[in-house]
A and B are shown apart, each in its own frame.
Chain A
Amino acid sequence: GAVVSQHPSRVICKSGTSVKIECRSLDFQATTMFWYRQFPKQSLMLMATSNEGSKATYEQGVEKDKFLINHASLTLSTLTVTSAHPEDSSFYICSANGGSHTGELFFGEGSRLTVL
């Protein structure tokens, strides 16, 4: 299957700093990427839908100025958690499909963010 690479897998940062997480589709072009957040033993909550070359669509309750998403190319989307606080600590997972309306999602391995 298609491969999605997510980096970094783990990051620890101080309160108030910003952290960037990258999501790359390695062997296919991803017109759409999705960013999810997952708390321990809970489900994935869709944060935003990232479309190449246009602004991301954020889900209700997700602060777009807090979670900056950039999808500048067909193989790369980034999520920047700005001015991180301990409550932002979570597991962030990206996924992609090729823009098909009948396709499966391919997931990155996730990034565990810990804000001290």
Chain B
Amino acid sequence: SQQGEEDPQALSIQEGENATMNCSYKTSINNLQWYRQNSGRGLVHLILIRSNEREKHSGRLRVTLDTSKKSSSLLITASRAADTASYFCATQNTGNQFYFGTGTSLTVIP
């Protein structure tokens, strides 16, 4: 399986705190992306980082990528209750296929 691994599986924090989740993958990639999923819904794209990039910011999101370790992290700063969702990393390989990580379920307590 080319599915990636994410940790933690579940994360519960207080509103205002930062949330960090990690992703590890197995193959060579063109890029790595992070998605968010609210329960029972489709996924929404958050941020994309290319294989030649090391860090990227978008609003309250910060993503890092270490291709030597085949890992990435997503940091959500100043979390809000509305950030409660599942977060998935996805890698796009050279064959234009996308494989998702196991996901992190984030709960932000108001």
Expressed in whole angstroms, the Cα–Cα distance for A102 and B53 within the complex equals 13
Expressed in whole angstroms, the Cα–Cα distance for A86 and B90 within the complex equals 29
Q: CB distance A104 to B42 under 8 Å?
A: no
Q: CB distance A105 to B97 under 8 Å?
A: no
- Chain B 1-44 per-residue mask, 1 if CB under 8 angstroms from chain A, else 0: 01100000000000000000000000000110101000011111
Provided the pairs A95-B98, A104-B33, A105-B90 are in contact, do residues A1 and B42 lie with their beta carbons within 8 angstroms?
no
Expressed in whole angstroms, the Cα–Cα distance for A69 and B31 within the complex equals 26
Across-interface contacts of A106 in B (CB, < 8 A): 45
Is A76 interfacial (CB 8 A cutoff)?
Answer: no
Across-interface contacts of A46 in B (CB, < 8 A): 2, 97-100
Expressed in whole angstroms, the Cα–Cα distance for A44 and B2 within the complex equals 12
Query: In the complex, how many angstroms separate the beta carbon of A52 from the nearest chain B beta carbon?
Result: 13
Expressed in whole angstroms, the Cα–Cα distance for A38 and B44 within the complex equals 15
Query: Number of residue pairs across A and B with beta carbons under 8 Å?
Result: 65
**Interface stretch among B55-63, B77-85, B101-109?**
B101-109
Expressed in whole angstroms, the Cα–Cα distance for A32 and B43 within the complex equals 17
Is A67 interfacial (CB 8 A cutoff)?
Answer: no
Is B68 interfacial (CB 8 A cutoff)?
Answer: no
Is B75 interfacial (CB 8 A cutoff)?
Answer: no
Find the A residue at minimum CB distance from B99: A46
Contact of A101 among B3, B96, B100 (CB under 8 A): B96
Q: CB distance B40 to A91 under 8 Å?
A: yes
Chain A residues within 8 Å of chain B by Cβ, number: 28
Q: CB distance B40 to A102 under 8 Å?
A: no
Is A112 interfacial (CB 8 A cutoff)?
Answer: yes
Q: CB distance A44 to B41 under 8 Å?
A: no
* Residues of B in contact with A (beta carbons under 8 Å apart): 2-3, 30-31, 33, 35, 40-45, 48, 50, 88, 90, 92, 94, 96-103, 105
Given contacts A99-B96, A110-B41, 15 further A-B contacts (CB under 8 A): A4-B42, A32-B96, A41-B105, A42-B103, A43-B102, A46-B2, A46-B98, A91-B40, A93-B42, A101-B30, A101-B96, A102-B50, A107-B35, A107-B43, A108-B42
